[in-house]
């Protein structure tokens, strides 16, 4: 249940407990604050009033923390480029979901590693069945701000604990799985096993997921990336990238029936706020440092 004023007070008083989340779970605060900052900017890329509401509440809690990441978030010290990238990405994933719902208005969407994102509120067509899945510590926070209903549900579980699938499989589908900014934190074998299980449990489903370029997982590029995550963004030491692919079609080689549909990179966006950085978009290695792939799991 979303919080009443009294409950919210109690939540704030207990906030120290809730701040003790894992480094990977804390990355959900970063994307949330990016959505909120962008939503309050001129000509916003993303309109996400719920993110603004949540960050206003979280500020009251996080401002008591000495954690550098939380201090940066509360003080709005996130790089403009990061805010723009995260907002463009969220808008693009909303588009993927909307496109899916155009053909299948009563379809089932599972937002894997949903964080504190409010995609359901942004895309709800009145018919979709929508699951927000994340680690229990994140869902616990999410429950303070969002209400479940007969079409909107939380799954409080690691995506790697495949038991969650039985709950979703009760529906007829069709199914769309989206994983925005998630798989890079997992291991290669885990991502592979997850996708193969999705394929066998939900034949005909679609998967949209962000991937990292595995070239960047080799030294010295790996150290540069981890430096960026930990020293510049102040993410904890466990929030590191582990999984990547080299090419958009790579997952097709994992099993017959996995069919590449399309891909998307930030550089494909005509968003003016991207600014001068767009000029590097023609360099494949940069265009595909971190990008999105769309598959059908036949």
DSSP string of 111-146? EET-TT--HHHHH--SS-EEEEEE-HHHHHHHTTT-
Cα three-residue angle 162-102-204, rounded to 5 degrees: 35
CA separation (Å) from 136 to 18, 186, 188? 11, 17, 22
Q: Which residue among 59, 104, 158, 192 contacts ligand SAM (CB under 6 A)?
A: 158
Stretch that binds ligand SAM, among 2-10, 58-66, 70-78, 157-165 (CB under 6 A): 157-165
Stretch that binds ligand SAM, among 109-117, 243-251, 266-274, 280-288 (CB under 6 A): 109-117
Write each residue from 27 to 66 as x if it is in contact with ligand SAM (CB under 6 A), else as -, in one continuous string: xx--x-----------------------------------
Answer yes or no whether residue 114 interacts with ligand SAM by CB under 6 A.
yes
CA 50 distance to own-chain centroid: 16
Q: Which residue among 109, 138, 211, 225 contacts ligand SAM (CB under 6 A)?
A: 138
Nearer to ligand SAM, 87 or 108 (CB): 87
User: 3-class SS at 246?
Assistant: coil
CA 157 distance to own-chain centroid: 15
Stretch that binds ligand SAM, among 101-109, 156-164, 165-173, 288-296 (CB under 6 A): 156-164
Q: How far, in Å, CA of 233 to CA of 30, rounded?
A: 9
Q: Which residue among 2, 17, 160, 283 contacts ligand SAM (CB under 6 A)?
A: 160
DSSP state, residue 165: H
Direct distance between the N- and C-terminal alpha carbons of the chain, in angstroms, rounded to an integer: 37
Which single residue brings its beta carbon nearest to ligand SAM? Answer: 115
Answer yes or no whether residue 159 interacts with ligand SAM by CB under 6 A.
yes
Residues that bind ligand SAM (CB under 6 A): 24-25, 27-28, 31, 113-115, 117, 134-135, 138, 158-160, 180-182, 185
């Amino acid at each position: 249940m979303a919080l009443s004023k009294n409950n919210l007070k109690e939540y704030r008083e207990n906030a120290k407990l809730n701040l003790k989340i894992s480094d990977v779970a804390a990355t959900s605060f970063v994307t949330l604050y990016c959505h909120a900052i962008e939503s309050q900017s001129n000509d916003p890329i993303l309109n996400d009033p719920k993110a603004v509401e949540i960050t206003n509440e979280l500020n009251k809690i996080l401002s008591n923390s000495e954690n550098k990441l939380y201090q940066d978030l509360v003080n709005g010290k996130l790089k403009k480029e990061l805010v723009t990238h995260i907002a463009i990405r969220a808008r693009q994933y909303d588009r993927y979901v909307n496109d899916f719902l155009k053909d299948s208005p009563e379809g089932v969407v599972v937002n894997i590693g949903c964080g504190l994102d409010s995609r359901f509120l942004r895309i709800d067509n009145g018919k979709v069945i929508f699951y927000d899945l994340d680690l229990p510590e994140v869902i616990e926070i999410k429950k303070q701000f969002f209400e479940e209903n007969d079409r909107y549900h939380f799954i409080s579980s690691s995506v790697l604990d495949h038991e969650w699938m039985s709950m979703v499989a009760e529906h007829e589908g069709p199914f769309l799985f989206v994983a925005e900014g998630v798989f890079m934190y997992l291991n290669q074998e885990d991502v592979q096993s997850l996708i193969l299980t999705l394929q066998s449990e939900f034949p005909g489903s679609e998967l949209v997921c962000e991937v990292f370029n595995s070239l960047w997982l080799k030294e010295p590029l790996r150290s540069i990336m981890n430096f960026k995550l930990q020293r510049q963004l102040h993410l904890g030491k466990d929030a590191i990238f582990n999984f990547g692919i080299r090419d958009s079609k790579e997952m097709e080689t994992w099993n017959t029936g996995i069919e590449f549909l399309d891909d998307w990179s930030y550089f494909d966006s005509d968003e003016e706020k991207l600014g001068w950085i767009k000029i590097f978009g023609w360099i494949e290695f940069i265009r595909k440092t971190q990008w999105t792939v769309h598959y059908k799991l036949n």
